[in-house]
Amino acid sequence: MSVQAGQKDDAVLDYLRRRRSAKIDQLAEPGPSAQQLQEMLETAVRVPDHGKLCPWYFVIFEGKARQEFGDIVGRVYAERHPHFTPEQMEKESTRLLRAPVVVAVVSRFRRGKPPLWEQILSAGALCMTLSLAAHAMGFGVQWVTEWLAYDDDIRAAIGLDDRDHIAGFLYIGTCQQQPEERERPAVDLLTTYWRPQGTLKKGEALERAGVGFPAAGFDFSKL
């Protein structure tokens, strides 16, 4: 495909502007076919990847595997919360049944020159590109982590080791309702054309008052 400077593709820009995250509880059958899912994955891997390390991989949950893994989730949850209610157990053990297909994108650190931070960013780009590909094929998708991504027993049950970290679970299915639009940040609050002694616009006006900084999420010291 030839590209000319300044040549705008209105169809692509309109698609990007219309992208919305679906709510998981509004995703249903049918999910993508095996061929459609394969096409999504082949599209997703076309992301920036410094050093061509492929610092990521996919784990697919579909069909009965969703409930089989859900049973494991339920057991782990029960160990963490021995005073659980039946409603809580039902919620936890059926998490992966909320959509026909769930794709776990795993960031795997590779040996090489590119810093770990760049490898992590590439995994995030993979999640976003997979999301865009699913939308482009007419499916709804939501990218989440939830507690599953950070629990050592859940990670072990999937088959992860110390070099692996879950970048996200992407729930993919057919939207039952049109995703709602939400307010987006004003770009002017986040954009600076640099000048000497200038002041950067760091989006401070968007900070949430009374909220502390989050935990790191993962322990990278074991690498």
Tens of pLDDT along 18-69? 888 999 999 999 999 999 999 999 999 999 999 999 999 999 999 999 999 9
Averaged pLDDT for residues 100-125: 96
pTM summary value = 0.92
- Residue 129 pLDDT greater than 60, yes or no: yes
**Token digits of residue 114:** 């590119």
- Residue 1 pLDDT greater than 60, yes or no: no
Placement of tokens 């095996």 in the chain: 34
Q: Give me the residues paired with residue 62 across strands.
A: 101
> DSSP state, 96?
G
Task: Report all structural domains of the chain as residue ranges with CATH numbers, in order of start.
Answer: 21-177 (3.40.109.10)
CB atoms within 10 A of CB 158: 16
